[in-house]
């Protein structure tokens, strides 16, 4: 079900007047419903988390059909706008990217991420003009469906450690970011960038919104928002934390035999969350 209203809401949540968006990332229906009950105004997906939950490594290894099936379950599980991490578009060319975006938007997603990472160590970033064509194809696909999808264009200049110096990395991020915004992106997503001063400078140099990812070694989300980020997402961090908690509980269970009690919701609460069924997502 196409949801233009969710797309408009997602745009509003990024507005400066609201102070920006803290976006937790889900990996399945249960995590999406949990994030909604925790008060998240919108929910992102994590490509790594979905891949791991499906039994695949991250990096567009999982079949796109399985990814979209998982995405459909997440969208049905929550009444909040969902923005989908589509990695590189699961396609070799702009036409294929448009097809993937169209399928995702028809599931009801309100926004999407598209990245310029190639996944190859020798040439980790896609050429700028090639990525521009892919972003334009994504924007045109959304326009054809009448959805003002929030397009978050990811560049991996910081994650890939582009350039010999921080100045080279910054300059390439500006070059790519400006091109991506001009191609129709609503914001430039720069995972790996955590320094508030650099974030402020990048926001000024781009003249457009910047999204970042919350990292364990970096500042808190509110500090990043005050530095100029329009959105701070968690990426796979919540799933990894959940796996870590499960590891710890299982060690206790197999060692001293401690029951896996947690401070989280109990069986009855989660049963109630899902008893109403997918219709909650249509409210």
Give residue 117's domain range: 4-282
In the numeric block, which tokens belong to residue 94?
């702009």
| CATH number of the domain encompassing residue 265 | 3.20.20.60
Per residue in 228-242, pLDDT tens?
999 999 999 999 999
| First-residue to last-residue Cα distance in the chain | 13
Predicted pLDDT of residue 70: 98
pLDDT score, position 279? 41
**Rounded to two decimals, what is the model's pTM?**
0.94
Report the number of distinct structural domains present in the chain.
1
Report residue 51 as tokens. Answer: 């891949």
Task: Return the pLDDT at 277.
Answer: 65
What HEC string does the chain produce?
CCCHHHHHHHHHHCCHHHCCEEECEECCHHHHHHHHHCCCCCEEECHHHHHHHHCCCCCCCCCHHHHHHHHHHHHHHCCCCEEEECCCCCCCCHHHHHHHHHHHHHCCCCEEEEECECCCCCCCECCHHHHHHHHHHHHHHHHHHCCCCEEEEECCCCCCCCCCCHHHHHHHHHHHHHHHHHCCCCEEECCCCCCHHHHHHHHHHHCCCEEEECCCCCCCHHHHHHCCEEEEECCCHHHHHHHHHHHHHHHHHHCCCCCCCCCCCCHHHHHHHHHCCHHHHHC
pLDDT at position 278: 54
Mind listing the pLDDT tens digit of every residue in the chain (283 residues)?
Answer: 899 999 999 999 999 888 899 999 999 999 999 999 999 999 999 999 999 999 999 999 999 999 999 999 999 999 999 999 999 999 999 999 999 999 999 999 999 999 999 989 889 999 999 999 999 999 999 999 999 999 999 999 999 999 999 999 999 999 999 999 999 999 999 999 999 999 999 999 999 999 999 999 899 999 999 999 999 999 999 999 999 999 999 999 999 999 888 778 999 999 999 997 654 444 4
């Amino acid at each position: 079900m196409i949801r233009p209203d969710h797309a408009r809401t997602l745009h509003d949540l990024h507005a400066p007047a609201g102070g920006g968006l803290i976006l937790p990332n889900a990996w399945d229906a249960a995590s999406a419903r949990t994030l909604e009950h925790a008060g998240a105004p919108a929910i992102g997906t994590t490509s790594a988390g979905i891949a791991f939950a499906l039994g695949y490594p991250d990096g567009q290894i999982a079949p796109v059909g399985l990814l979209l099936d998982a995405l459909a379950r997440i969208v049905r599980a929550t009444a909040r706008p969902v923005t989908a991490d589509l990695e590189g578009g699961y396609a070799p060319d702009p036409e294929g990217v448009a097809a993937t975006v169209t399928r995702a938007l028809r599931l009801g997603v309100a926004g999407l991420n598209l990245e310029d990472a190639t996944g190859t160590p020798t040439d980790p970033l896609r050429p700028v003009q090639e990525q521009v064509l892919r972003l334009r194809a994504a924007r045109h696909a959304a326009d054809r469906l009448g959805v003002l999808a929030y397009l978050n264009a990811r560049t991996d200049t910081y994650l890939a450690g582009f350039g010999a110096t921080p100045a080279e990395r910054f300059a390439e991020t500006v070059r790519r970011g400006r091109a991506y915004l001009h191609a129709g992106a609503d914001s430039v997503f720069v995972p790996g960038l955590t320094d508030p001063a650099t974030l402020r400078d990048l926001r000024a140099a781009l003249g457009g919104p910047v999204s970042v990812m919350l990292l364990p070694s970096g500042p808190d989300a509110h500090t990043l928002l005050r530095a100029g980020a329009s959105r701070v997402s968690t990426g796979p961090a919540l799933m990894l934390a959940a796996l870590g908690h499960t590891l710890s509980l299982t060690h206790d269970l197999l060692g001293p035999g401690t029951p896996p009690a947690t401070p989280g919701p109990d069986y009855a609460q989660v049963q109630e969350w899902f008893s109403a069924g997918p219709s909650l997502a249509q409210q």
